[in-house]
Chain A
């Protein structure tokens, strides 16, 4: 989706605001939102790509206005209802539906403390797909404008680059976000010169490296 989240290359967002000695969470509720996100994720009712798409679905004005964890909170309220973990009525009353059975959380404190045990699982080496592109090969990012989730940023579409690294076989977000299957495929690091992306005024030395799934690329 050509949404506000895809902001690479915009120039009117103002100066970068830094904060000295910034706390991890600015208020306790932010930490609770962060932790709840991880804990409800353990139900595996959605995946990381569906989660990102949930943020992208926020109206653009809300996306820019809301703080980071407010976006997470709003997204999670939606996903909890959509997935059926919580009903709309329960969300409104704040109480479990009468007669509903209490569940057992999949993530307990012991599991939460073993953070390494909470690794995501995004690679599919067993898929053994043959790589279409070799290192050093010239490629062109497809000019595509899907209305669903994609990780191909607008600023790279239609641009020519070269393959500089092969990362292996990964789950494809464009389908996974919509529960349409993982479609595992090779992921490449593609180098685009700054001049290819931004024109002749850009530095002749500089470049941008973008991780791209095979479905985003054609031979150039």
Chain B
């Protein structure tokens, strides 16, 4: 796995970068003009840093794995089924769930910008919004998956979903072998963000060989 390199140099400066100063100036102006409420900004940052993230999606997937009726609802009307668990809101208004199987592998991208199902996966990682992922996922999905360490056999069908509209996609990954006795909560802990984007499979639990 490639370590994080220093390409995102403006993300790691110690002295305030130019955008940091401009952001500060803009916030002061907007607050003074009464255009934004500083407390609302704090609330939003806190929500996306601490409350809204891939653990939400993991709970949806774990429920679908243990409850066949829930899984059916999820595949038929994802927005409603996801709302049953209390998740919804901006960038998750129109959800569609794509089921992976031994013969079909789904992968989600937004080639035009960075569309991503915020309420259940949080804000996207930098690589998802980056040019390499956005450009190559549609033309070379198998190569992209190999970069993520997933080498799919030729007889598996790869389906790439390009999120060009306001529909947001969640991949329902395969439940790994060796998890038959696990509780819903234990399963949720196993489910990764990358598996729900479709760039990985859910790893088997520690100690299980596949």
In the bound complex, do residue B30 and residue A19 qualify as a contact, i.e. CB atoms below 8 Å apart?
A: no
In the bound complex, do residue A209 and residue B166 qualify as a contact, i.e. CB atoms below 8 Å apart?
A: no
Q: Which of B19, B112, B166, B167 interacts with A70 by CB under 8 Å? A: B19
Number of A-B contacts (CB under 8 A): 295
* Minimum C-beta distance from B142 to chain A (A): 7
Q: Which of A107, A205, A211 interacts with B164 by CB under 8 Å? A: A211
Q: Is A142 an interface residue, CB under 8 A from the partner? A: no
Report chain A residues within 8 Å CB of B142. 203, 206
Q: How far is the CA of A181 from the CA of B27 in the complex (A)?
A: 31
In the bound complex, do residue B47 and residue A167 qualify as a contact, i.e. CB atoms below 8 Å apart?
A: no
Q: Which of A22, A105, A213 interacts with B36 by CB under 8 Å? A: A105
Q: Which of A34, A39, A203, A209 interacts with B37 by CB under 8 Å? A: A39
| Per-residue interface assignment for chain B, residues 164 to 200, with 1 indicating a CB less than 8 Å from any chain A CB and 0 otherwise | 1111000000000000000000000000000000000
In the bound complex, do residue B162 and residue A153 qualify as a contact, i.e. CB atoms below 8 Å apart?
A: yes
In the bound complex, do residue B163 and residue A205 qualify as a contact, i.e. CB atoms below 8 Å apart?
A: no
Interface residue tally of chain A, by bracket?
Answer: 35 or more
Report chain B residues within 8 Å CB of A26. 8, 11-12, 126
In the bound complex, do residue B94 and residue A123 qualify as a contact, i.e. CB atoms below 8 Å apart?
A: yes
In the bound complex, do residue A22 and residue B125 qualify as a contact, i.e. CB atoms below 8 Å apart?
A: yes
* Minimum C-beta distance from B13 to chain A (A): 8
Report chain B residues within 8 Å CB of A208. 138, 159-162
Given contacts A25-B49, A39-B36, A112-B40, contact A206 B132 (CB under 8 A): no
Report chain B residues within 8 Å CB of A148. none
In the bound complex, do residue B23 and residue A32 qualify as a contact, i.e. CB atoms below 8 Å apart?
A: yes
Q: Which of B48, B53, B134, B164 interacts with A7 by CB under 8 Å? A: B134
In the bound complex, do residue B36 and residue A17 qualify as a contact, i.e. CB atoms below 8 Å apart?
A: no
In the bound complex, do residue B53 and residue A18 qualify as a contact, i.e. CB atoms below 8 Å apart?
A: no
In the bound complex, do residue A29 and residue B24 qualify as a contact, i.e. CB atoms below 8 Å apart?
A: yes
Report chain B residues within 8 Å CB of A118. 89-90
Given contacts A10-B136, A13-B135, contact A209 B113 (CB under 8 A): no
In the bound complex, do residue A7 and residue B135 qualify as a contact, i.e. CB atoms below 8 Å apart?
A: yes
Q: Is A40 an interface residue, CB under 8 A from the partner? A: yes
What would be 21 A-B contacts, judged by CB atoms less than 8 Å apart? A8-B111, A11-B139, A18-B4, A18-B125, A20-B4, A26-B8, A29-B17, A31-B49, A34-B45, A34-B48, A35-B41, A40-B35, A67-B19, A77-B26, A86-B35, A120-B91, A123-B93, A205-B158, A208-B160, A211-B163, A211-B164
Beyond A52-B113, A208-B162, 13 additional contacts (C-beta under 8 Å) are: A9-B138, A16-B133, A17-B4, A31-B48, A39-B30, A39-B36, A85-B33, A115-B47, A119-B88, A151-B112, A151-B164, A208-B138, A208-B160
Question: Residues of B with Cβ closer than 8 Å to A?
Answer: 1-5, 7-8, 10-12, 16-17, 19-20, 22-30, 32-37, 39-45, 47-49, 52-53, 88-91, 93-94, 96, 109, 111-114, 119, 122-123, 125-127, 129-142, 144, 147-148, 154-167
